Amino acid sequence: MNPQTPLYFDLIIIGAGPAGAAAAMTARKNALSVALIDKAEFPRDKLCGGLITGRARAAYQQIFDENINPDLFEARHRIGFFMNGEALGPQQEMPDAHLTMRYDMDHSLLAFARTAGAHAFTGQRIEALDLKARKIMLKSRQILGFTALIGADGVNSMVAKEVHGRAFNPAKIGFALEIEAPATAPVDENSALRIDFDAAAWGYGWHFPKHRGNMIGICGLQASNPDMKPRLAAYLQRLGTGEEVPVKGHFLPFGDFRQKPGRDNILLAGDAAGLVDPVTGEGIAYALQSGQMAAMAVYRAISGGNPGAACGHYVKALAPIHRSIRLARFIRPVIHARHLQPFFKKSFAGSRRLKQEYLRMLSGEIEYPRLIWLFAARLPRAIWRHFRAVE
Ligand SMILES: Cc1cc2nc3c(=O)[nH]c(=O)nc-3n(C[C@H](O)[C@H](O)[C@H](O)COP(=O)(O)OP(=O)(O)OC[C@H]3O[C@@H](n4cnc5c(N)ncnc54)[C@H](O)[C@@H]3O)c2cc1C
């Protein structure tokens, strides 16, 4: 490594998205010295629908001590669910939902972390990462030393590659395509969000109208969607917009989280740890929560005089998130397995309560067990009705 004098930090975080910024903020609140590195200059784009659920809002407010700023977060109150182009009942009231542009949101999160005292190194690729020597060399040749490291560097995480040999399992990863179509009509709080459960196999499509434009995309398990581009084209045709707009793609974890994300004093948070809900595709809330948990685990380990204990503390803290993702994986076939889809469609379309509970689950008011119970109670009736109709 370069002989330049190293700068030492209690905690270095690679990646300044929601997970990294939340970790930096939490570590600063606990008086750790923090370096936050990102290869991008901010503001920077991140492919994302930008749906901020009640769960994400609560984490945001708690970690950054900030209220939702209406310049950054547009409130939305309505949502419609579709399958095969048919509405699954009337539009629903959506509790506690906002839309944001990640370009702006992530810039403001980084600013909060900086104001709290984190040293930001942006526009800095990492030339060398030596986990044993606890040193990093930046593109600028600056050497940074650390006691603990958090990899919050997204789905293609270099830290995950270093620790686990690869960033993700290609057989289980999700993939998403998204476009930003120009706004065709003025939008307001009552402009409805739209979810199409069949737009991709083992995934869904979305249409989120924002002031700046319409975010439209599809996501699903990559292995089940070799035809992702034609599927997006068909979806855009169905919506009647966006067919001329450039398409961007990005991997996203889709249920295949790491049981033990990291080792000793090296932790992974957010997408780097595989923390995205495989039913809703929501990752911002878990990125914020896991960033906070990772920083708290580092703080506990360092203040207890044993930095190597950080990963153990972290894995324990992650248990509720891991449990939710496991339950989401359990319920996923009810929505997406081909033989169960007709029953799901019938139950969901016919039950206002099921839709409301799904939305309450999305907003963080209830957790998956309640939703699973409701589906379990309705499925046998839907299956019985289906066979009566076939006879
Ligand atoms: C198309 C799409 C739509 C989505 N829509 C939603 C949605 O509406 N709502 C929702 O909750 N979730 C959504 N998600 C998921 C959500 O975007 C992610 O879960 C979330 O961004 C994860 O945050 P993160 O901080 O872990 O990683 P990221 O946001 O990916 O941030 C990682 C950061 O690390 C930096 N980085 C990467 N590698 C390096 C490196 N080697 N050195 C330095 N820096 C590095 C990157 O520049 C980036 O700034 C969507 C995902 C996709 C792909």
- In SS3 terms, the chain reads as CCCCCCEEEEEEEECCCHHHHHHHHHHHHCCCCEEEEECCCCCCCCCCCCEECHHHHHHHHHHHCCCCCCCCCEEEEEEEEEECCEECCCCEEEEEEEECCHHHHHHHHHHHHHHCCCEEEECCCEEEEECCCCEEEECCCCEEEEEEEEECCCCCCHHHHHHHCCCCCCCCCEEEEEEEECCCCCCCCCCCEEEECCCCCCEEEEEEECCCCEEEEEEEEHHHCCCHHHHHHHHHHHHCCCCCCCCEEEEECCCCCCCCCEECCEEECHHHHCCCCCCCCCCHHHHHHHHHHHHHHHHHHHHCCCHHHHHHHHHHHHHHHHHHHHHHHHHHHHHHCCCCHHHHHHHHHHCHHHHHHHHHHHCCCCCHHHHHHHHHHHHHHHHHHHHHHHC
The string of pLDDT tens digits covering residues 89-105 is 999 999 999 999 999 99
Q: What is the pLDDT of residue 339?
A: 85
Counting residues of the chain whose pLDDT is more than 90, the rounded percentage is 86
Atom of ligand 1 nearest to the CA of 42: 49
Give the whole-angstrom CA distance, residue 146 versus residue 149: 7
Atom of ligand 1 nearest to the CA of 178: 1
pLDDT band at 391 (very low <50, low <70, confident <90, very high): low
The string of pLDDT tens digits covering residues 105-156 is 999 999 999 999 999 999 999 999 999 999 999 999 999 999 999 999 999 9
Q: What kind of fold does domain 7-326 have according to CATH?
A: FAD/NAD(P)-binding domain (3.50.50)
> 276, 266 in Cβ contact below 8 A?
no
The string of pLDDT tens digits covering residues 6-40 is 999 999 999 999 999 999 999 999 999 999 999 99
pLDDT band at 383 (very low <50, low <70, confident <90, very high): low
Q: What is the pLDDT of residue 358?
A: 93
Under 8 Å CB-to-CB from 339, ≥6 apart: which residues?
Answer: none
* Ligand 1: centre distance to CA 47 (Å): 7
pLDDT band at 380 (very low <50, low <70, confident <90, very high): confident
pLDDT band at 372 (very low <50, low <70, confident <90, very high): confident
Q: What is the pLDDT of residue 385?
A: 66
Q: Are strands 174-181 and 214-221 parallel, antiparallel or unpaired?
A: antiparallel
Counting residues of the chain whose pLDDT is more than 70, the rounded percentage is 96
> 123, 97 in Cβ contact below 8 A?
no
Q: What is the pLDDT of residue 389?
A: 60
Q: pTM value?
A: 0.96
Q: For residue 181, give the nearest of 247, 229, 232 by alpha carbon.
A: 247
> 139, 219 in Cβ contact below 8 A?
no
Mean pLDDT, to the nearest integer, of 246-256? 97
**Angle, to 10 degrees, between the axis of helix 284-303 and the axis of helix 310-336?**
160
* Ligand 1: centre distance to CA 283 (Å): 8
Give the whole-angstrom CA distance, residue 120 versus residue 22: 13
**Residue of 47, 60, 104, 153 to mutate, ligand 1, most atoms within 8 A of C-beta:** 153
Atom of ligand 1 nearest to the CA of 21: 25
Q: What is the sign of the dihedral through the CA atoms of 365, 254, 292 and 72?
A: negative
The residue whose two tokens read 């060399």 is: 137
Mean pLDDT, to the nearest integer, of 387-391? 59
116-125, 254-263, 342-351: which range is least confident on average? 342-351
The string of pLDDT tens digits covering residues 66-86 is 999 999 999 999 999 999 999
The string of pLDDT tens digits covering residues 328-341 is 999 999 899 988 88
**Residue of 276, 284, 293 to mutate, ligand 1, most atoms within 8 A of C-beta:** 284
Length of the chain: 391
pLDDT higher at 377 or 149: 149
Q: 164-167 long-range CB contacts below 8 Å, 24 or more apart? A: 164/258, 167/272
**Residue of 38, 195, 247 to mutate, ligand 1, most atoms within 8 A of C-beta:** 38
The residue whose two tokens read 């065709």 is: 184
The string of pLDDT tens digits covering residues 165-192 is 999 999 999 999 999 998 878 999 999 9
Q: For residue 170, give the nearest of 217, 204, 221 by alpha carbon.
A: 221
The alpha carbon of 324 is separated from its chain's Cα centroid by a whole number of angstroms, namely 14
Atom of ligand 1 nearest to the CA of 276: 19
Ligand 1 interacting residues, C-beta cut-off 6 A: 14-20, 37-40, 46-51, 56, 126, 152-154, 158, 176, 178, 217, 250, 252, 270-272, 276, 281-284, 287
Largest Cα span, the chain = 80
Residue 344, classified by CB atoms within 10 Å of its CB into exposed (0-12), middle (13-18) or buried (19+), is buried
Domain boundaries, the chain: 7-326, 338-390
Average pLDDT of the chain? 94
- In one-letter notation, the amino acid at residue 149 is L
Q: What is the pLDDT of residue 1?
A: 47
* Ligand 1: centre distance to CA 92 (Å): 28
pLDDT at 388 over 50: yes
Q: Which residue's alpha carbon is at the smallest distance from atom 26 of ligand 1?
A: 270
Q: What is the pLDDT of residue 53?
A: 97
* Ligand 1: centre distance to CA 379 (Å): 35
62-66, 124-128, 363-367: which range is least confident on average? 363-367
Neighbours of 283 (CB within 10 A): 25
